[in-house]
Amino acid sequence: MQLRPLSDHVGTEVTGIAMTDLDDAAFEQLRQLVYDRGMVALRDQTLTPEQHIAFANRWGGIDINNYFPLNGQHPEIAEVRKEADQRVNIGGGWHTDHSYDQIPAMGSILVARELPSSGGDTLFSSMGAAYDALSEGLKATLERLNAVHSADHIYSREGAYAQTDQASVLRGHELKTLAVHPVIIRHPVTGRKLLYVNGAFTLHFEGWTREESQPLLQYLYSLGTREEFQCRLEWRPGTVAIWDNRATWHLAQNDYHGERRVMHRITLTGEPIGR
């Protein structure tokens, strides 16, 4: 297993292993690397959908995504897809997956299936680095706050995607979601403190109005997207990314108009998060 950090704070590229052949010790080493680095990109993998599912099951449970198109033969796999004639992509803003769930997803495993000739990179940002950059006074304030999360304003029939060319393929328009989580959480494995809000799904601080919440939330979003906290994953055929949704944000670049991009994503079941 050869490792190459993609940035100071988040992301490690892994070569020299086959995901389908990992013994228990190597698998646990990889799992810890995901927890420590937030995201791991494995290169030169050959992974069938069945092997993708089997590998995900080694992590624990699988959360079925309620919104993305599902792979017809394998309902565990959601398709993150943009057709050549579409202008809008899925995941084109900074977010963390499933923060709108009462028990948020632990992570995601994304497999490149069909890539454009160039573009379509994914950016990741470290929420541990974002927390560390807070002043002591703001840390103390945020430690006492919870935030309200939902996906309704994104996926409902009146939501953000409703008037775009992704509207016809997305599902779950009638679902209602609402979850309350601490603004500062402690990673359940590493113990590291992390900023846990995101621009896609966080609505407001609990007990605050949206108008009152926005100035502070916007500051936190700007902090979380500082370039020095980020890495860029350049996708290549055979690339698989595994990331920790508690510890990172990510954003899918939408810079390949006129070409098709298809990714297979499995979302990994998490555990209750707390301070």
- 229-265: pLDDT as tens digits: 999 999 999 999 999 999 999 999 999 999 999 999 9
pLDDT at 73: 86
Across the range 121-147, mean pLDDT stands at 98
pLDDT at 115: 98
Question: How many separate domains does the chain show?
Answer: 1
Nearest to 253 by CA among 115, 111, 66, 106: 115
Beta-bridged to residue 149, according to DSSP, are: 179, 202
Residue 275 lies in a domain: no
Residue 7 lies in a domain: yes
Residue 251 lies in a domain: yes
* Residue 89 confidence class, pLDDT cut points 50, 70, 90: very high
Contact 174, 215 (CB under 8 A): no
CATH of the domain at 236: 3.60.130.10
pLDDT at 270: 96
Residue 152 lies in a domain: yes
- Alpha-carbon span 177 to 126, nearest angstrom: 26
pLDDT at 109: 98
pLDDT at 70: 80
- Alpha-carbon span 177 to 67, nearest angstrom: 12
What is the domain extent for residue 206?
2-268
CB within 8 Å of 53: residues ≥ 6 apart: 62, 74, 76, 77, 266
Residue 10 lies in a domain: yes
Residues classed as catalytic = 95, 97, 250, 265
- Alpha-carbon span 105 to 188, nearest angstrom: 13
12-15 and 39-42 as β-strands: parallel, antiparallel, unpaired? parallel
- Computed over every residue of the chain, the mean pLDDT equals 96
Residue 273 lies in a domain: no
Which H helix or E strand runs over 193?
strand 193-195
Write phi, then psi, for 221 (nearest 5 degrees): -65, -40
- Alpha-carbon span 123 to 41, nearest angstrom: 12
Tally Cβ neighbours within 10 Å of residue 180. 11
CB within 8 Å of 134: residues ≥ 6 apart: 142, 195, 223
Q: Give me the sheet containing 248-252, strands edge to edge.
A: 230-233, 122-126, 248-252
pLDDT at 72: 78
- Of residues 168 and 53, more confidently modeled: 53
- Alpha-carbon span 184 to 131, nearest angstrom: 8
Tally Cβ neighbours within 10 Å of residue 76. 19
- Alpha-carbon span 33 to 41, nearest angstrom: 11
pLDDT above 90 (res 9) = yes
∠180-39-213 over CA atoms, to 5°?
Answer: 30
pLDDT above 90 (res 69) = no
Residue 274 lies in a domain: no
Query: 0.85 exceeded by the pTM?
Result: yes
pLDDT at 71: 79
Across the range 56-84, mean pLDDT stands at 92
- 141-189: pLDDT as tens digits: 999 999 999 999 999 999 999 989 999 899 999 999 999 999 999 999 9
In angstroms, what CA-CA distances link 174 with 67, 104, 116, 148?
10, 20, 33, 19
Residue 166 lies in a domain: yes
- Alpha-carbon span 110 to 121, nearest angstrom: 13
